Structure 1
Amino acid sequence: MTDERSHKFSEGEGFGDPYDEFDLDPPELEVSPDEVDPVDSRVVTDLLDRQAIPSDRVSVKDLVEVGLSYMQINRFEQATETFERAARFADEDSLDAQEAWVNKGAAHGQLEEWDEAIGSYREALRIDDDSEHAATAETNLAYALWESGQTEQALEHSERAVEIDQRFPQAWFNRGFFLLERGLAEDALNCFDNAIRLGFRNVQVVEEKARALEEVGEDEEAERLAEEAEEMRKQAEQELVQE
């Protein structure tokens, strides 16, 4: 199962041009790159506490961008702290707060801190269980519950994610995976096909679809997809080496 599927986080607004390393310098925080290590986990927290910056001077969106950048460079502990800070500074029960909680859950998921991830996703859904971030929260919550052994609840939340947004491919893939694990291969196939039609086609999706096809007796097509998945895996490995 891929990180894309298991730990979906928001896209943010982006920093524009690609960067070689993370440069923590949102103007609202007045950080000098000469004075702090840009990947120091204490930078954001200590700076805000030390200067006692009023909440109306803190850009929650900038804090979320900082957290997302930490995610991009695999600094997940720093990301959790930054997203929590963003949630605390956001207006109570706002969409900004919800986005921060969803992202905090994703960062905890990368660290396999499932209880913390589950708590973050539940907090996001408490704020609004039908918003633009709700399907992502439900999908990620389903995976975190699965990893923590709560399989029944995992399927329920994956189904809820599909109900919220039928065009969210990761939700369909999650649901298909959980159904297949319960032996419901036909239903799982429909979910995998929906995920692929919506543009979510990677090694894991193809492998799981091949497994479902094998379960329903379509061995020839299952073998073809298994070979395709292997080719996709080799290509990905080659690209990684080239990078």
Structure 2
Amino acid sequence: MVMSTLWKFLYPPPPSLFVTTMSIISVVSLANAGFSEIKGKHMQYSKFFGTIKDENDEKKKKKKKAKIESKLGMILLYGPSFLGGISSFAIFPNGDLRFVLVCSALSIHFFKRLFEVLFVHKYSGSMDVEDAIAISLSYFLSTITMIYCQHLSQDLLEPSIDLKYGGYIIFLVGIIGNFYHHILLSKLRTKGEKEYKIPQGGLFDFAICPHYLFEILIFVGISCTSQTLYAISFTLGTTFYLMGRSTATRRWYQSKFDDFPKDIKALIPYIF
């Protein structure tokens, strides 16, 4: 009964071992990354990496790795995925409306990220080249897998319940909300400042990571637009990861600021 209801909302999985494997990897790896964030093992591109100490810090310091300026590293993170998104229109020129909406959403998402890297975010550190390449490859593989899965699904029976238009609206709400709160974060520090401050304005008055909440909405919207099992799997994994990361971020602010408001949640105002 549950499965029959589920397939009203999703395409049947395409006959692809690659897509099936990536669906499993996405959920497991991202959920594990979220759990690692809670335990204090932070990803290299986190702005708190190096400021939030974990038990492996001393080991990491002993390993000398090639470094890259944070801004260039972030471009490396998002650039290939953006190129993958816009290239999909040339590689698969006969895509249907749903395919076009999914590919445009992915392209817009990574274009926004690149725009923020170039014109919004402020940087004061560096990234390991090895880790930047690994994260970039992960983003790229996820993006092209979602596009490829959508391409394969065009030959399958459409879900009986069509969510693509509502999904795209959710995606746009997520993009706008995420961008707005990134603007607020960028205004916390003036040029030359390196001290962290408690974010204020927007939903920051109710949760410390509303930009993560809107990022989740971005992928919820893409999943509803796509209606493929892979998109759902990736969104589920992303949600687990950002829940863990927001929890770790709230804990860091509590340890850093004695006046951090106790009623501010991690991710969802009033709830979590």
Return the TM-score normalized by structure 2: 0.26
Q: Which has the higher contact order (CA 8 A, sep 6+)?
A: 2
Return the TM-score normalized by structure 1: 0.28
